[in-house]
A and B are shown apart, each in its own frame.
Chain A
Amino acid sequence: MAEHIIRLQGVTKEFDTKGGKVVALKDIDLDIERGDSYGIIGLSGAGKSTLVRTINLLEQPTEGKVIFNDSALTGLGSKDLNIHRRKISMIFQQFNLLMQRDALGNILFPLEIAGVPKQEALKKANELLKVVDLEERAHSYPSQLSGGQKQRVAIARALASDPEVILCDEATSALDPKTTRSILSLLKQINEERGITLVVITHEMEVIKQLCNKVAVIENGEIVERGDVEEIFKKPKTKAARKLFFPDGDYREKPLTKTSTRNRVRLVFDEATAGEPIIANMIMELGAPVNFLYANLDVLGGSQKGQMVICLAADKETADKQKAYLVAKGVEFTEIDEDEEVQA
């Protein structure tokens, strides 16, 4: 059995606001295994940040337990909590670097806090600057660095305390696509080479696809779906998950009017099924056309995945035949409800 590094048990978080009680997290259970790159995805306001902040107790849960390496963090005094926190680093969307310290000084900060002797700390900080490829910027201040460089400093700072986990709250959301890719690949490398567990909060499926092996979909403070990224990509069970797997996140305000929305299915092809022109064959064999609404090729953790939304025949009988054909050919598909709005 794999070892759990982080467990949330029945975590609920309520905020008292002027407008009344806001329930940000509802009875969340979550197990993260050592070495996982665990994505948590959801739309704005879903409770992602609150969830990740309860892991290191920046947010005290109203109810429930947070367990790190078999010891409950909830209920610890601040002294003990601070010692555990050194093993759980965090990086942020806004980087949160000390503006009055240069890159090196920022990386030294957690080492100073932990009381590491100066020479040793300096040696380590310099090594970490190399890891994040910023040796020549050691004495630049955050105001003199680009967003991507700042996040690299933040990553080096996160590594300085030899953490077992790094929590990433929208770590790439303030960066352009190219910089995002380079930061994601740095994080992936840290996860794979150092075995550091990642918890990745994001609202972008791209981030999950590039970086994570597991994913939980959060909606209104609840985890509605979770599992291996590949499994969920192939067969998303919930509307929330399907919505997120459509890139661009561009959903129509109004349902499609011109195109029929009946009998829509979402197909996923992997390397095994991509070689054969299955849809073309199906049309010819069954003599009934389908309507193509959407098609796209994705790279998921290094392997190619195609996804497609098609509208099957309008009459139920033919549609059922088409579905049976797809099943026979081993193509994974999910049916989309008539009222569900997906980008087409």
Chain B
Amino acid sequence: MEIRELLSLLAQGTLDSLYMIIICTVISYIIGLPIGVSLIVTAPGGIRPMTVYNKVMGFIVNILRSVPFLILMIALMPYIRKIIGTGIGKEAATAALIVAAAPFVARLVEQSLLEVDPGVIEAAQAMGASNMQIIRKVLLLEARPSLLNGAAVATINILGYTAMAGIVGAGGLGEIAIRYGLYRFQPSIMWITIVLLVILVQIFQEIGIKVVNKYDNRIN
């Protein structure tokens, strides 16, 4: 393969990966963040305890979290095909990815919100804050550094999922690694994609740390 061809292949792969990571992370947060908040709010001792909802939602999240992504993706393929017409390719992989990532995000959000001092929530209740005000102005704001930290973890995790989704032809670096490393046996190309993936992880991690430090007023 020519060097120019290789470069453009890798560049396209990186862009495809980035695109898929960002879309999946955003959609996973749109779904997972409210679920995570609801798990905290409805927990026993939360600001609006609802035992049944909490148990059911917690159970669903746990089930989806405990199936390894690769298996979940394959298991979901027939259903995804029914809904969007195809079980492979970028769209199908994205759908499977979100089903796996949203519950993961929900748990991360739940963990972050758990760190908020119950005394502060109680102080807000004593001031006459409504539950909605407590969620917006106390829970989410007090947990912001930890939520951002969680977002970096989620992004990196989703990057891992997108690479695995290469198996079903999702495009991106994962698919390149599998196609050239596994099927055409060109390990050098596979190694280059591995290096690129590692670099991406490092970048996300660095951005995460920078943003968290900027927003955390507890330290400094």
Contacts and interface: CB of A to CB of B under 8 A. Distances in A.
Interface string B25-42: 000000000000000000
A102 interface: yes
Interface size classification for chain A: 20 to 34
B45 interface: no
Nearest to B142: A100
B129 A113 contact: yes
B128 A92 contact: no
Interface in A270-313: none
17 contacts: A79-B130, A82-B129, A85-B125, A90-B123, A96-B122, A98-B141, A99-B142, A100-B215, A100-B217, A101-B217, A109-B127, A109-B137, A112-B137, A113-B128, A141-B218, A143-B220, A167-B126
B142 A98 contact: yes
A35 to B, nearest CB: 21
Q: Report the contact-size class of chain B (Cβ under 8 Å from the partner).
A: 20 to 34
Contacts of B117: 96, 99
A58 B137 contact: no
Interface string A71-87: 00000001101111110
A116 interface: no
B219 interface: yes
A261 interface: no
Interface of B: 117, 119-120, 122-131, 133, 137-138, 141-142, 144-145, 215-220
B127 A143 contact: no
B218 A83 contact: no
A88 B126 contact: yes
Given A100-B142, A102-B217, A94 B130 contact: no
B217 A99 contact: yes
B127 A86 contact: yes
Given A96-B117, A97-B120, A85 B218 contact: no
B218 A114 contact: no
Contacts, number: 79
A138 B117 CA distance: 22
Contacts of A89: 126-127
Interface of A: 56, 58, 78-79, 81-86, 88-90, 92, 94, 96-102, 109-110, 112-114, 141, 143, 161, 167
Interface centre among A78, A99, A100, A109 (most CB of B within 10 A): A100
Contact of B130 (A78, A84, A92, A167): A78
B96 to A, nearest CB: 36
Contacts of A84: 128
A109 B128 CA distance: 11
CB-based closest 10 A-B pairs: A85-B128, A82-B128, A96-B123, A96-B119, A90-B126, A86-B128, A141-B217, A110-B127, A113-B129, A143-B218
Contacts of B215: 100
Contacts of A82: 128-130
A58 B125 CA distance: 8
Contacts of B130: 78-79, 82, 113
A143 B217 contact: yes
Contacts of B141: 98, 100-101
A96 B125 contact: no
Contacts of A110: 127-128
Contacts of A143: 217-220
A92 B127 contact: no
B138 A98 contact: yes
Contacts of B128: 81-86, 110, 113-114, 161
Given A94-B119, A109-B137, A112-B137, A100 B218 contact: yes
A84 B127 CA distance: 9
Contacts of B125: 58, 85
Nearest to A94: B119
Contact of A99 (B122, B127, B133, B218): B218
B217 A96 contact: no
B133 to A, nearest CB: 6
Nearest to B145: A100
Given A90-B123, A98-B138, A102-B217, 13 more contacts: A78-B130, A82-B130, A85-B125, A89-B127, A92-B122, A96-B123, A99-B217, A100-B216, A109-B124, A112-B137, A113-B124, A113-B137, A114-B128
